[in-house]
Amino acid sequence: MKQSAGLITFLKKNCANYDHHYGGCLFEENCKVEKNRRCGYFEKAVLPMAVESGQGEIIYSAYEKNCQLSGVLEREQKRLCPDCGTGLRPRQKYCEKCARKRRQKTRREYLRRYRANSRG
């Protein structure tokens, strides 16, 4: 079966378990994705990065085609920062800028309260 070149390029670039020195997977004999098999790690940790880079649909459907799945995978949604609308990385709640701003604000409020309490 012919594989999507885009998928394999993406895999080699983004999979932390891909052995760039010898090829294949660092933990198994062969890279499952290269062998047209499903890989749990790839699905959980690597595929969502495609969404982030704007290649989501291409990579997801190439992977599904390789594994002969029929569109069963849940697409990782591109999430946006609620404060400014910047795209978020997986597990981020706010973009880096807004997260920093919020931390500073919390700190300022804490200090204000602290000062107010120690005055009274």
Least distance (Å) between residue 89 CB and Zn ion: 12
Q: Does 83 bind Zn ion (CB under 5 A)?
A: yes
Which of 47-55, 57-65, 67-75, 77-85 is the region at the interface with Zn ion (rule: CB under 5 A)?
77-85
What does 10-68 look like in DSSP terms, one character per residue? Answer: HHHHH-TTB-TTTSSBSSSSS-TTTTT---HHIIIIIHHHHHHTT-HHHHHHHHHHHTT
By CB under 5 A, is residue 96 in contact with Zn ion?
no
Is 36 within 8 Å of 66 (Cβ atoms)?
yes
Judge whether 39 and 64 are in contact, CB under 8 Å: no
Amino acid at site 106: T
Residue 112 CB, nearest distance to Zn ion (Å)? 24
**28 makes contact with Zn ion (CB under 5 A):** no
Min. distance of Cβ 74 from Zn ion in angstroms? 25
d(CA 38, CA 90): 21
- In the list 76, 81, 87, 92, the residue contacting Zn ion (rule: CB under 5 A) is 81
Our CB check for Zn ion shows the closer of 65 and 101 to be: 101
Give the interface with Zn ion as residue ranges (CB under 5 A).
81, 83-84, 86, 95, 98
